[in-house]
Amino acid sequence: MIRVDRVALRGLKARGHHGVFPREREEGQTFIVDLVLHIDTRPAAADDDLAKTVHYGVVAEEVVAVVEGEPVDLIETLAERIARQCLKHDAVAEVEVVVHKPDAPITVPFDDVTITITRSRA
């Protein structure tokens, strides 16, 4: 088994209108996304060639576009959409997505709500 390397993006912030309550849809809120992209960096490193890896700047822009895009009820659905977008990059074999919803409509004190999913090509 060949172990893959990891490229991590932490704290991507975007405003989205996701949630089941009308206020969430109307006003929106900040979502924070953490990603771990599992890739084999050896080809890129050997040739010092960006085309042989994943351009994490592009991935970051795409993820923000997903968060800012079409609203969904559940952060589980949002995480799935983000994972699918990341896996469109040929170099990405697997992705771990964490979606944070720090302003979730919860009536008791809390720090954060997250969903973590892992998706792969296989």
The CATH number assigned to the domain holding 100 equals: 3.30.1130.10
Question: Taken in order 27, 96, 52, 42, is the CA torsion positive or negative?
Answer: positive
Could you give the angle at the alpha carbon of 90 between the alpha carbons of 84 and 93, nearest 5°?
70
pLDDT of residue 109: 96
pLDDT of residue 86: 98
Mean pLDDT, the chain, rounded, equals 96
**Catalytic residue numbers?**
101
Domain count, the chain: 1
Q: Is residue 81 part of a domain?
A: yes
pLDDT of residue 63: 98
Q: Is residue 118 part of a domain?
A: no
Q: pLDDT 10s per residue in the chain (122 long)?
A: 457 899 999 999 999 999 999 999 999 999 999 999 999 999 999 999 999 999 999 999 999 999 999 999 999 999 999 999 999 999 999 999 999 999 999 999 999 999 999 999 87
Q: Is residue 101 part of a domain?
A: yes
Quote the domain boundaries for residue 96.
Answer: 5-106
pLDDT of residue 1: 47
Q: Is residue 116 part of a domain?
A: no
User: 0.75 cut: is pTM over it?
Assistant: yes
Strand, coil or helix: 70: coil
